[in-house]
Amino acid sequence: MPTAAMADARRHRSLFALIPAIHQRTVANHGMIQCYLMVLPMISDGTPVIVGADRGLAAVMERVKQVAAADAPVLILGETGAGKEVVARAIHTASRRARGPFHRVNCGAIPSELIDSELFGHEKGAFTGATERRHGWFERADGGSLLLDEVGELPLAAQVRLLRVLQDGRFERVGGQRHGTVDVRIIAATHRDLPTMVADKTFREDLWYRLAVFPIRLPTLRERREDIPALARHLAAKACGRYGTPTLAPSEADVALLSAYDWPGERPRDGRRHGTAPSSSATAGASRSPRRSASWRRSPLPDRGGRS
């Protein structure tokens, strides 16, 4: 006899199979698109839920709806932790490339000497240790979307080669003698002030214009405090599931405390980890007793004077 879990799994697979048809019929309808963006992450494995899509992020989701059907590059601007990857995935999910791959590359985490190999790949024997041909991130994202996170950290030499891919889709592997072509939608994201970097000659002006075809600025959590209650409940439930503790929501006092906090560095997830240790007494909302609520409030939230 099938279990409830098996029945849920079948239902989720059936719903996921219907998404392309639903998307084709409702692409011009804002209300349905917003619903589509909110439902898909909950039934597609591994995709984050967009909390605040109908409140503090309503203007952002309107921009997502506008650009999703196009294939233009998108530049997402916002502080670290503001949710740039979540919005990038929403754009990909609502686009015609939804069935294609979505890859994220942290440009700031790649050593400068490996940038070309990571982005564009290399041929066998191109350098010491290159024992076989390797496809770069652009080839792996062919037919889909590539999120270039922290694009402001790219060195100038890599910016030149990125510009060429944006212009005509052509690239060359390290050590290669032939050009390849890819069909990739570029979504770039950064917390840096790119116009100032352009003025300082640390970011190419022509690349800036190519990337900033459709900019989307994400508000900070401080600017959308109305989303904090829903975000707190969502993160608490997610953390309880991760640690195997009973699902318990934050109390009104907990939410009031979170709403009053300034959130420097945009890291509500860190607060979730500090407040949801495996001990039930440390879980946000685990008890209504003053002692336990007080112990949770004393969790080491990021210092106001710096970034987490």
Comparing 101 with 263, the larger pLDDT belongs to 101
258-291 in b/e form (b: 16+ CB < 10 A) is: beebebbbbbbebbbebbbeeeeebbbbbbeeee
- The pLDDT, as a whole number, for residue 7 is 55
Residue extents of the structural domains in the chain: 7-126+133-219, 222-297
pLDDT (tens digit per residue) in 218-250: 998 889 999 999 888 888 888 888 888 888 888
Q: Angle of helix 30-43 relative to helix 58-68, nearest 10 degrees?
A: 100
pLDDT (tens digit per residue) in 37-79: 333 344 344 445 688 888 889 999 999 999 998 889 999 999 9
- The pLDDT, as a whole number, for residue 131 is 73
| Sign of the alpha-carbon dihedral angle for 183, 187, 192, 198 | positive
Name the pLDDT band for 305 (thresholds 50, 70, 90): very low
pLDDT (tens digit per residue) in 140-197: 999 999 999 999 999 999 999 899 888 888 877 887 777 788 899 999 999 999 999 9
pLDDT (tens digit per residue) in 12-24: 455 445 444 444 4
68 exposure class (CB count in 10 Å sphere: 0-12, 13-18, 19+)? buried
Topology of domain 222-297, per CATH?
A: Helicase, Ruva Protein; domain 3 (1.10.8)
- The pLDDT, as a whole number, for residue 302 is 38
- Domain 7-126+133-219 belongs in CATH node 3.40.50.300: yes
**How many of the other CB atoms lie within 10 Å of CB of 302?**
18
Comparing 21 with 299, the larger pLDDT belongs to 21
pLDDT (tens digit per residue) in 256-298: 999 888 887 655 554 444 444 333 333 343 333 333 333 333 3
What is the mean pLDDT of the segment spanning 127-136?
78
